[in-house]
Amino acid sequence: MTESLLIIEDEQLLGDELERHFQRCGWEVIRAKTAAQAEHVLFEEDLQPLVVLSDINLPDGNGLDLLEKVRQHGSVSEWVFLTGYGGVPDSVRAMRLGAFDFLTKPYDLERLDIIVGGARRSAGAQRRIRDETCGRSQRYSAASFVGTSEAAQRVREMLAKLTEVPFSALIITGETGTGKGLAARILHHAGPRAGGALVEINCAALPRDLLESELFGHEAGAFTGARGRRRGLIEQAHGGTIFLDEIGEMPADLQAKLLKVIEDRKLRRLGAEREIEVDVQVLAASNQNLAEQIDNGQFRADLYHRLSVFRLELPPLRERKQDLHQLVPSFIEEFNSLAGKKVSVISDAVWERLLQHDWPGNVRELRNVVERCVLFASGVNFPLDWLQLAAAGKTQQRPDQENCLCLPVDGSMGLDDMVGQIISTLLTRHGENVAETARILKTTCEKVRYRMEKYNIRRGKNQA
C-alpha cells in the first residue's frame, strides 16, 4: 500500500526536488504551494497523509497555524517543518503543537530521510492504535449484550446510560458466566475513558502478597525478590479503567488500602516513601452476595458503599432463555469463522434440547457447547449428539452412599448447625485437608477457616 506524503512548499525548485526524491523512495506525493491549497487538500478533499513536510513561512499564512487547525480536527499525521528563518520561539511552538521535528534550511537530505522515516513509523503506530480503539469501541457497545428478552433489554439500557456518564466506581453482580467481563469491557470501550487503558485482574487467582504487589506496585528491595521497581496495575490504569473481578475474594486489609486509593486518588507503592496521584475508574465484579459477606465480616461495608455508586445486576441465562435464539446463531457465526466451518442449520430437536436445559454455567456454558458442536460438525447441520446435555426430566443416578450426607429437615437442626455439619464431615472424610474441602464446596480456604472458627469446628493432627 502506497503511503502519502504532503509537501507544503512555496519555493518551486525546492518543492520539485523534494517531490522527485520522495517519489523515488516509494511515497505518493501531494504538493501544495500555499496554506489555502493545503487546507483545501486536507479539509475539503479529506486527505489523510501519513507525513506532512511543510515550510513555516508560506505566502498566505503560517505552517504552525495550519498544524493547529489540523490538530483540532483530530487528524493523525506527523508533521516535519522546514524553514530558512527558524528561531527558538517557532521551534518551541512546533513541539508544543506536536510536530515530529523542526529543521532549518539548508538541510542534509540523508538526515531528512531518517527523520521522515521516523515520522512514518510514528504515524503508522498511532493509526494502528486508533484503529484498534475504534474496533474495540464498535465491538464493545451496549448492543453487544445480545438478547431480546426484557431482562437483556434492561441491561442494555443501563449499559447505554452508564457509558454516557463519567462515573467513578461501579459493582457488577451476577452468577458465574453471565457476562460480567463483557459488561466491564462495554463500560470502558464505549465510555468516556475509551482512550485509556483497561486493566483486568481476578482477585481470586492470586495469593494475598502477590495480589498486593500486582495492584499497588513496589520499589526495589521492598521485599525478598523485588529486584527492581514495578508499576502496579492501578497505576498502569491511570487515565483509564481497572476491572477487579471476584472482588469478594480480596483480603480485608487490601480492601482498606483499595478504599484509600479510591477516596484519595493516590497510592503508595510497597516500599515507597511518597504517594503517586492516580485517576482511575473502578469496576468491581462478584458472583457472591456482598451484602451477606458484609454481615459475615468478610467484606468492608465502607468499600462496598464506595464502589456501589452504580450497581449492575446481570440475569442468569435460565431467566432469559428466549435469548438463545440470538446467542446461538451469534456463537455459531463466530466459530464458523475461526474453524472454517459452514454450520447453518439448527434442527427443532436441537432447539428443544437447548431450551430444556437450565444452563447452570450461563452464557459461558452455552458458548462452550456451541464451540464443541461447531468444531465436530461434519456439514451444515448443528450436531445434536455433541450437545451432551442432560434431557429434561431425566432421572440422575443416585451418588454413592459415601459421597452423600444426610441432614434432618424436621426442624431439629438449624441452618448454622447444618453448615457446621457439612464442613466437619468433609474435613473428616478428607483428612482435615482445608484446601480439598474448599475445592469441593467451591469456595476459598479463608471462608472455610472462618466458618470453622465460627462453628467451633476442631481439626485433627493432619492439617493443610
* CATH code of the domain containing 409: 1.10.10
Neighbours of 18 (CB within 10 A): 21
Q: Do 322 and 297 share a structural domain?
A: no
Flag whether 115 is in a domain.
Answer: yes
Q: Do 358 and 240 share a structural domain?
A: no
Strand ranges in 144-254 using DSSP code E only, listed in sequence order:
169-173, 198-202, 241-245
Report yes or no: 40 and 13 within 8 Å, Cβ to Cβ.
no
Flag whether 399 is in a domain.
Answer: no
DSSP secondary structure of 59-120:
TTEEHHHHHHHHHHTT---EEEEEESS--HHHHHHHHHTT-SEEEESS--HHHHHHHHHHHH
pLDDT tens-place string over residues 186-227? 999 999 998 888 999 999 888 888 899 999 988 887 777 777
Looking at residue 463, its pLDDT comes to: 46
DSSP state letter for 42:
I
Looking at residue 459, its pLDDT comes to: 65
Flag whether 234 is in a domain.
Answer: yes
Q: Do 92 and 43 share a structural domain?
A: yes
208-216 and 252-264 are packed helices; what angle lies between their axes, rounded to 10 degrees? Answer: 10
Q: Do 35 and 86 share a structural domain?
A: yes
Flag whether 211 is in a domain.
Answer: yes
Looking at residue 464, its pLDDT comes to: 45
Of 313, 328, 356, which marks where a domain is finished? 313
Looking at residue 393, its pLDDT comes to: 42
Question: Would you say the C-alpha torsion 347, 349, 353, 355 has a positive or negative sign?
Answer: positive
| Cell (9 digits) for 402 | 459415601
Q: Do 344 and 357 share a structural domain?
A: yes
- pTM equals 0.62
Number of domains in the chain: 4
* CATH code of the domain containing 360: 1.10.8.60
Report yes or no: 309 and 168 within 8 Å, Cβ to Cβ.
yes
* CATH code of the domain containing 309: 3.40.50.300
- Computed on alpha carbons and rounded to an integer, the radius of gyration of the chain in Å comes to 31
Q: Do 123 and 85 share a structural domain?
A: yes
Flag whether 221 is in a domain.
Answer: yes
Q: Could you list the pLDDT tens digit for every one of the 464 residues in the chain? A: 458 999 999 899 998 999 999 999 889 999 999 999 999 999 888 888 999 999 988 899 888 899 988 888 777 789 999 887 766 787 788 878 888 888 888 778 888 999 999 989 888 887 776 667 665 556 788 989 999 999 999 999 999 999 999 999 999 999 999 999 999 999 999 999 988 889 999 998 888 888 999 999 888 877 777 777 788 899 999 999 999 999 999 999 999 999 999 999 999 988 888 899 999 999 999 988 898 899 888 899 999 999 999 999 999 999 999 999 999 999 999 999 999 999 999 999 999 999 999 999 999 999 999 999 999 999 999 999 999 886 544 434 444 555 677 776 655 667 777 888 888 888 888 878 888 888 888 888 888 888 888 878 876 544 44
Rounded distance between C-alpha atoms, residue 99 and residue 345, angstroms: 56
Report yes or no: 70 and 40 within 8 Å, Cβ to Cβ.
no
Q: Do 107 and 15 share a structural domain?
A: yes
Flag whether 390 is in a domain.
Answer: no
Looking at residue 390, its pLDDT comes to: 67
Q: Do 199 and 98 share a structural domain?
A: no
Count Cβ atoms within 10 A of the Cβ of residue 400 and give its class: 0-12 exposed, 13-18 middle, 19 or more buried: exposed
Report yes or no: 244 and 283 within 8 Å, Cβ to Cβ.
yes
Which range of residues forms the domain containing residue 266?
A: 153-313
End-to-end CA, the chain: 62
Q: Do 166 and 224 share a structural domain?
A: yes
Of 313, 328, 353, which marks where a domain is finished? 313
Q: Do 301 and 165 share a structural domain?
A: yes
Flag whether 305 is in a domain.
Answer: yes
Report yes or no: 352 and 314 within 8 Å, Cβ to Cβ.
no
Q: Do 339 and 204 share a structural domain?
A: no
* Single-letter code of the amino acid located at 394: K
* CATH code of the domain containing 101: 3.40.50.2300
Looking at residue 462, its pLDDT comes to: 41
Rounded distance between C-alpha atoms, residue 173 and residue 269, angstroms: 30
Q: Do 231 and 303 share a structural domain?
A: yes
Of 111, 136, 161, which marks where a domain is finished? 136
